[in-house]
A and B are shown apart, each in its own frame.
Chain A
């Protein structure tokens, strides 16, 4: 078989050539002294690229542009990688960042499974893992090196459950994305509402990938509850609202309540007037009335040409946490010292006053009740009531 023999040899040679190229690129990443590297792993492709990846990337870059690329005598270098949405690849990327690039921080993590997959690496290598996006409560329990600057779903969900029971909602249905944060949201909403005397008449879970809401919304129409509580990750809100209107649920008298993920600032304005009056609870709104937020929103718009959402603020605060921790350790990049420095740290973020719980390494922050309103011709979540300094309720109850 001469054909296959030579074909094989050509292929074998090509493979060798390919590996040689790989070596060259690896060797080029030479070590630089006095540089602190941050490995930022984000969803840069796929359905979560716009609402999570690009928002956090822009916020992190903006923070570095405003606060300088050096702290405590060290130059900060940001290495941005695409997580490709798969845990095994994310883990490999994190491991390579640790082994080859010698990063001192791992940061980002758009979805819960990705944060879970990297957690053992953070423990083994004693590297702080800053979770800037993922919102399942149990993430911080996976490694003593995980610190979170985003939020947890139970944290923002109990607010809307309280609001609902105070506003005469007795029978409610839940509709959540079928993964960690969604189940967290479903559970805390149910517990909180039933404790206040309410009733859950139906629980719907929709697949995270390629969600089609219409068959589920039909079930809601048939069951006619007082209210429908919704959690879908940021980025899927537009699709949900569209189908909600198409099914005529906006005129059915069923009240829609949600966590702020649905009325994500990044896409809220494109959802149209159907969202007017929609009540949600969340930890950040671009309309938050504070001088810190005004400056942040203005600078972010100039830099990224979009409105910052809660992911952006998570990225911004994550960078702030890293900078402050380095300042506190005087540039020492020992992971244990850095995490110790982060514990109990508090500052005023664009979202309001926040702190890192020294016990759980999770974030403590205000949760706001907001209503969608038109401000200067654009739709915004306007805050009208505040739950102050809310810890993650799941871990607080333990």
Chain B
């Protein structure tokens, strides 16, 4: 399972073929396996924190979806919550009007969000980062207001009531402690992660990175930018929609906050904390973000936002990598023992 990193090849040796390069990148590394084993291990380990873990898994998936467009295609977005919200409302409406089986609901909601993402993607084809920021923000605002106005469908500002979610695949009922919810969300996140991992390590993923690095150059060597951007944006929308659907199904409630600007901003913050462009950033950022939020708000219910902001400013000022390197130093011998190299 362990791969030799490509950069350790002796100087002057021949560059690997593209296929070999991609294969080397796609190989599983031990920390990844450890990460997922511990994530699933938490099902048994912390029975009383499953609700928080469920939220972390969902935020992780949502941030992962943003990472797909930000980290791989270089599209900055301040309105990713639009797709999250579309998925959330779709799942809520499906559950309310008969389709109570969660997996079916999840897939259909993902499709609904994907359709919206597909249509919206044409608006971000042109323009620079700033215009994209504005366009994505605008789209999210439009959806927020639509959900607010169409209150005979969405319940408006009071939220959608009367959602009843059936057992998963007709078998596993959602329990009160959130164990089913966490297992369900984590499994969905894991499967979608596998798919995303496959995609970003494919030639398609590589061509996206080329587009991100230099749009013009990529175009001149024959990489058609528009089709690729539409494809990845639609995929990211499907992911975000599924994250929203998971939240609806596990909390049995949808409200306008699903489409809130704060939710888009949270996803960006999560990526700032976790780092973008390597898929785990969203997941790790989500863990750090939610734990920080939960611990701080439990300690000082009235002033936790101050501390949250303080920590974020410190994080950005010092720089994530430097901070993490300092924090990880005590573990260096352990890491060495496990076969990790120092950079």
Binding site for B on A (CB under 8 A): 1-16, 18-19, 21-23, 25-26, 42, 44-45, 49, 53-54, 80-82, 84-89, 91-92, 95-96, 98-100, 112-113, 116-117, 120, 124-125, 136, 142, 178-180, 183, 207-208
Asked if A45 contacts B287 (CB within 8 A), the reply is: no
19 sample A-B contacts, Cβ–Cβ < 8 Å, listed by A number:
A1-B7, A2-B343, A5-B31, A7-B275, A8-B32, A12-B31, A14-B284, A18-B288, A22-B52, A22-B295, A45-B302, A84-B297, A88-B55, A99-B176, A100-B48, A112-B158, A117-B159, A117-B253, A179-B157
Asked if B251 contacts A88 (CB within 8 A), the reply is: yes
Chain B 150-182: CB-based contact to A (< 8 A → 1; otherwise 0): 000000111101000000000000001110000
Asked if A6 contacts B343 (CB within 8 A), the reply is: yes
Asked if A116 contacts B331 (CB within 8 A), the reply is: no
State the total of A-B contacts with C-beta under 8 angstroms: 181
**Which of B12-20, B95-103, B220-228, B321-329 contacts its partner?**
B321-329
- CA–CA, A16 and B334, complex, Å: 14
Cβ of A207: which chain B residues have Cβ within 8 Å of it?
Answer: 148
**Which of B34-42, B69-77, B122-130 contacts its partner?**
B34-42
Q: A1-B5, A3-B343, A7-B324 are in contact. List 15 more A-B contacts (CB 8 A).
A: A2-B5, A7-B275, A9-B30, A11-B280, A22-B52, A42-B301, A81-B298, A88-B253, A91-B253, A92-B52, A95-B178, A99-B48, A117-B251, A178-B157, A179-B157
Pick from A26, A100, A120: contact of B252, CB under 8 Å: A120
Cβ of B314: which chain A residues have Cβ within 8 Å of it?
Answer: none
Pick from A2, A26, A80, A87: contact of B301, CB under 8 Å: A80
CB distance from A25 to the nearest CB of B (A): 7
- CA–CA, A343 and B255, complex, Å: 31
The B18-73 residues at the A interface (CB cut-off 8 A) are 25, 29-32, 34-35, 38, 42, 45-46, 48-49, 51-52, 54-55
Residue total for B at the interface (Cβ-Cβ under 8 A):
68
Asked if B6 contacts A1 (CB within 8 A), the reply is: yes
Known: A19-B46, A82-B297, A142-B161. A8 touches B38 (CB 8 A): no
Asked if A4 contacts B278 (CB within 8 A), the reply is: yes
Q: Which residue of B30, B251, B288, B331 has the most chain A CB atoms within 10 A of its CB atom?
A: B251
**A interface: dominant SS:** helix
- CA–CA, A11 and B279, complex, Å: 13
CB distance from A110 to the nearest CB of B (A): 13
CB distance from B214 to the nearest CB of A (A): 20
Asked if B46 contacts A10 (CB within 8 A), the reply is: no
Cβ of B55: which chain A residues have Cβ within 8 Å of it?
Answer: 88-89, 92
Asked if B158 contacts A5 (CB within 8 A), the reply is: no
Cβ of B274: which chain A residues have Cβ within 8 Å of it?
Answer: 11
- CA–CA, A88 and B243, complex, Å: 13
Asked if A178 contacts B6 (CB within 8 A), the reply is: no
Asked if A9 contacts B338 (CB within 8 A), the reply is: yes
Closest 7 A/B residue pairs (Cβ): A179-B157, A10-B328, A9-B31, A82-B301, A180-B158, A44-B301, A12-B31
- CA–CA, A1 and B278, complex, Å: 12
Chain B 285-306: CB-based contact to A (< 8 A → 1; otherwise 0): 0011001001101100110110
Cβ of B32: which chain A residues have Cβ within 8 Å of it?
Answer: 8, 12
Closest partner residue, chain A, to B36 (CB atom)? A12
CB distance from A203 to the nearest CB of B (A): 14
**B interface: dominant SS:** helix
Q: Which residue of B7, B35, B253 has the most chain A CB atoms within 10 A of its CB atom?
A: B253
Cβ of B301: which chain A residues have Cβ within 8 Å of it?
Answer: 42, 44-45, 80-82
Asked if B328 contacts A13 (CB within 8 A), the reply is: yes
Asked if A15 contacts B148 (CB within 8 A), the reply is: no
Asked if A116 contacts B161 (CB within 8 A), the reply is: yes
Asked if B176 contacts A10 (CB within 8 A), the reply is: no
Asked if A15 contacts B35 (CB within 8 A), the reply is: yes
- CA–CA, A79 and B238, complex, Å: 39
Pick from B25, B256, B291, B304: contact of A22, CB under 8 Å: B291
Cβ of B324: which chain A residues have Cβ within 8 Å of it?
Answer: 7, 10-11, 14
Asked if B257 contacts A88 (CB within 8 A), the reply is: yes
CB distance from B286 to the nearest CB of A (A): 10
- CA–CA, A86 and B25, complex, Å: 40
Known: A26-B49, A82-B302. A98 touches B343 (CB 8 A): no
- CA–CA, A26 and B49, complex, Å: 8
Cβ of B278: which chain A residues have Cβ within 8 Å of it?
Answer: 4, 8
Chain B 65-96: CB-based contact to A (< 8 A → 1; otherwise 0): 00000000000000000000000000000000
Asked if B251 contacts A10 (CB within 8 A), the reply is: no
- CA–CA, A88 and B298, complex, Å: 17
- CA–CA, A15 and B35, complex, Å: 9
Cβ of A22: which chain B residues have Cβ within 8 Å of it?
Answer: 46, 49, 52, 291, 294-295
Closest partner residue, chain B, to A207 (CB atom)? B148
- CA–CA, A92 and B250, complex, Å: 10
CB distance from A94 to the nearest CB of B (A): 10
- CA–CA, A18 and B156, complex, Å: 38
Asked if B52 contacts A86 (CB within 8 A), the reply is: no
Asked if B156 contacts A10 (CB within 8 A), the reply is: no
Asked if B29 contacts A5 (CB within 8 A), the reply is: yes
Cβ of A113: which chain B residues have Cβ within 8 Å of it?
Answer: 157-159, 255-257
Pick from B46, B251, B304, B335: contact of A45, CB under 8 Å: B304
Cβ of A125: which chain B residues have Cβ within 8 Å of it?
Answer: 176
B340 interface hit (Cβ, 8 Å): yes
Known: A112-B158, A180-B158. A23 touches B46 (CB 8 A): yes
- CA–CA, A45 and B280, complex, Å: 31
Cβ of A14: which chain B residues have Cβ within 8 Å of it?
Answer: 284, 288, 324, 327-328
Asked if A87 contacts B5 (CB within 8 A), the reply is: no
Cβ of B157: which chain A residues have Cβ within 8 Å of it?
Answer: 112-113, 178-180, 208
Asked if A54 contacts B338 (CB within 8 A), the reply is: no
CB distance from B22 to the nearest CB of A (A): 12
CB distance from B91 to the nearest CB of A (A): 13
Chain B 307-321: CB-based contact to A (< 8 A → 1; otherwise 0): 000000000000001
Asked if B331 contacts A13 (CB within 8 A), the reply is: yes
- CA–CA, A9 and B343, complex, Å: 12
- CA–CA, A9 and B302, complex, Å: 35
Asked if B304 contacts A8 (CB within 8 A), the reply is: no
Asked if B257 contacts A11 (CB within 8 A), the reply is: no
- CA–CA, A22 and B55, complex, Å: 15
CB distance from A46 to the nearest CB of B (A): 8
Pick from A21, A81, A82, A92: contact of B251, CB under 8 Å: A92
Asked if B257 contacts A18 (CB within 8 A), the reply is: no
